[in-house]
Amino acid sequence: MSFDDFLDSQRIVYELKPNVDEDDSFEDEYYDNETIYYQEGIPTKSSSIPFIKLMNGHEPLKNMQRRYELFERNWKIQHDLITQVLNKNDKDKFTPLKEFLYSIQPGGFLKKQGELRLTTALLNLGSNISNHSRLLDQVHESLDGNDCVVVRLHSKMCGSIKSTIRLINTEILEQLEKDFKIDDIQDDSNDFKIRKTEFEDVVNILKTLNIKLIVLIEDADSFPTGVLIPLLKVLWHYNKIHSNQLKVIIGISTPFIIFQEKLPKLTTRFLNLKNFQIDNSNESIDEIMEHLLLNIDDTHNSLIFEPKLVLEFLKIKTKISISQFINYMKLIYMNHYFNQPLSIFWTNDFSTIILNKYYFKVFERLPSVRKIDENLSSNLNLHLTDEQQTQIDDFYRGIISQDTNEIGKFFRINIGKLLDWRINLRTLLDFINQIQEYFIDYKIWFNNLELFKLIFQNLEFETIEKNESLNFQFMRPIFETILMADISTINEFIQKIIKVETFNYIVENFNIVEIRKKQEIPKFLNELTKALNNQLYELDINSIPFREICCISTTSRGLITMHELSMNAFNPQIREIATETLLNSKNQLFNSIHSNLNLLTPTDLDLKLFKLFEPSVVEIYKLYREAGVFINIYDFYQVFKYSLNKEELLQLLKEKCKKNRVPDAVKLIKQCESNEESWDKLTLSWFLKNLTELQLLGMFKDGKNKSEIIEKNIWKGL
């Protein structure tokens, strides 16, 4: 058989036939998707954006479009901030590396023999493996150009020195063909021969084109020593022959002292080594987190993060990469604007908002609003002024009468409080930073994120008044220094903060005045502590009504938490999800994407079919759970087949196929009604198809030495 005959034998031929004439028994009924169910998230004629109309579809279309516009605009602002930070921190980061690789360095020759050493850059990628991929991509991007070919090697692809050299050959030739037009020096007829070229010939081609070869070893710590050492020797040998045409970059995550133990001294003699610390990801992610999580200088352009959620991110800061954090942030913004109908109110432009009666129901059901009502009902001492009590009463009267003016007043007051929350946080952080900077020469914290963690990590707003003396325990070394300080030093500090406009509220409302004698210092510290605690009271965001419009919290009253949402999105528990779906298929089959839940009744065809026969994979999974560890396939099929109510099931399937106008399926069902063999074929096809699906899900494996037996996979602690 020739090669062409072999290719022809592998082709699949599809035969197109005209549609079978529809069965006369079909009812003449009008079928329109839009009248049967509301398509959530599916772009329709009226909207091309990937957002849905909330409040059971009663949200005005313009409001839905406005939410999408706000998401795109506000996320772009956050993303631009991230890009700005990264560009600033990464500027000129690789300049020393490029200078080292492209120029002749001192010590580039062996002392006795005078032979050229192999220029080798050691890149310390840092201990956070999650950031390595981004750093290596940056290195590749900065070096890749018209005067060099960069070949990236990973330990998983380099099992032997032979396969590694072959990989380098292939990568070089592909890049030459793509970027440097290798056809200019090689005829097309020789293209196949080029791919078989030895490494020496490939290096000769590079020299002819005056192109340098840079081999980037991405994870040298994981590289087999039996591959790494011979590879370096081969590269050194050809570099010696071709006059400094080859360079090597070695990426390591361990200190050089530890890594060099992998290389014998005889090998390092031939390498012109230089170590580069290129990992600045800790500084970058600190700055990015401070911008995105605290946002102390922003207004309506970003969301507010509850302190506990900020602390959750600080816990995983050293475990996630910058790219992962950016993805987390985008998911949070997208989830908020996708699911929260009130997010359109987090703006300074209310002119385009359409308010209908359904918003009043949402206002009333907000957890932050209901919390006030619950506290009032339980006669808790909320320390409300007469004015605040009147505002709450007017708001509830407005809810009942749907009076937009009364609701609007209360709403605007609390929007102002949410804006003030950021100002209060910034004031507190700036004030404490001033105290540290003025009174001590060392640093207890180095940036606002560290200070934020010290303030909030042990803070509970429910007990804040009881623990006033403990809330700022981390500042004790500073307070002890103040007790020992000169009166003039303290007075200079007081004069300094009085001049700062943002600190006026703190200074004026507490007795922070210049002192005259040493005995007044404890009183000054007492007033200072009161001022700090008062700022903390203002940061209880859970006490602000309507916070849901812009605040992202760790809990959502029984709903999935923001942290869980992020973890499930990027680290899904696949087996748990699959098992839960198989056990509770109703949650997947009957939701507002597929059905109008308000129109579903016990007599509905879909519900009747669901009660009688769930999707066949679910039915088989139920039987699988009841079976033992070893299952005979034939017996398994028989149990499945006889568990079905044939007559009732076929009748419902026939009705369903008629309704959906599937004539071929109707004919098949009629055959199954009259012919037992057709029924056996249908049930066997269901069984085998879904048995394979369960096997792909890892539920079982083939039995040992017995093709008719399957064995359950027992998952323990996974």
Cα 512 off chain centre by: 46
Say if 397 falls within a structural domain: no
Q: What is the pLDDT of residue 494?
A: 92
The rounded Cα 136 to chain-centroid distance in angstroms is 21
Q: Which of 135-144, 368-377, 481-490 has the lowest mean pLDDT?
A: 368-377
Beta strands in 154-204 (DSSP E): none
Residue 37 clears pLDDT 50, i.e. is over it: no
pLDDT > 90 fraction of the chain, expressed in percent and rounded = 32
* pLDDT for the residue 46: 53
Element containing residue 492 per DSSP (H, E): helix 487-498
**CB within 8 Å of 622: residues ≥ 6 apart:** none
Mean pLDDT to the nearest integer, 422-434: 93
User: Which stretches of 251-385 are DSSP H helices?
Assistant: 256-259, 265-268, 281-289, 307-315, 322-339, 357-365, 367-377
Residue 587 to residues 97, 173, 610: CA-CA distances in angstroms? 56, 53, 12
* Angle, helices 663-674/676-696, rounded to nearest 10 degrees: 120
Q: Which of 547, 707, 545, 580 is nearest to 632 (CA)?
A: 707
| Domain housing 253 | 95-279
Checking if the pLDDT of 529 tops 60, the result is: yes
Last residue within a domain, chosen from 279, 302, 330: 279
Mean pLDDT over 284-296 rounds to 91
pTM of the model: 0.72
Token code pair at residue 335: 């989830």
Mean pLDDT of 212-227: 92
Residue 184 included in any domain: yes
Q: What would the mean pLDDT of 272-277 be, rounded to a whole number?
A: 90
CATH label of the domain that carries residue 216: 3.40.50.300
Quick one: angle between helices 676-696 and 633-642, nearest 10?
A: 120
* Per-residue model confidence (pLDDT) at position 715: 62
How open is the CA angle 548-549-550, to the nearest 5 degrees? 90
Complete edge-to-edge strand list for the sheet that includes strand 700-702? 630-632, 709-712, 700-702
In 515-634, the DSSP E strands lie at 551-552, 630-632
Out of 246, 279, 312, a domain closes at: 279
Residue 598 falls inside a structural domain: yes
Residue 133 domain-assigned (yes or no) = yes
What average pLDDT does the structure give for the chain?
Answer: 81
Domain membership flag for residue 249: yes
pLDDT per position as a tens digit, 158-189: 989 999 999 999 999 988 888 766 554 444 43
Give the per-residue pLDDT at 122: 93
Q: How many domains does the chain have?
A: 2
194 within 8 A of 173, measured Cβ to Cβ = yes
Q: What percent of the chain is modeled with pLDDT above 70? A: 80
Mean pLDDT throughout 8-26? 45
What integer pLDDT is reported at residue 92 of this predicted model?
A: 86
122 lies in a domain? yes
Rounded to whole angstroms, the Cα distance separating 49 from 24 reads 41
Among 375, 400, 118, 363, smallest CA distance to 241 is for: 118
Mean pLDDT of 302-330: 90
Within-domain flag for 73: no
DSSP string, 151-194: EEE-GGG-SSHHHHHHHHHHHHHHHHHHHS-GGGTS-GGGHHHH
Question: Residues 613, 589, 605, CA angle at the centre, nearest 5°?
Answer: 55
Helix axes 521-537, 487-498, angle to 10 degrees: 30
Note whether residue 558 is domain-resident. no
Give the residues across from 274 on adjacent strands: 121
- Which H or E run contains 688? helix 676-696
Picking from 279, 298, 322, the residue at the C-terminal end of a domain is 279
pLDDT band at 43; cut points 50, 70, 90: very low
Looking at 143-147, 280-284, 419-423, 637-641, which range is the least confident one? 143-147
What's the CA angle centered on 591, arms 586 and 592, to 5 degrees?
170
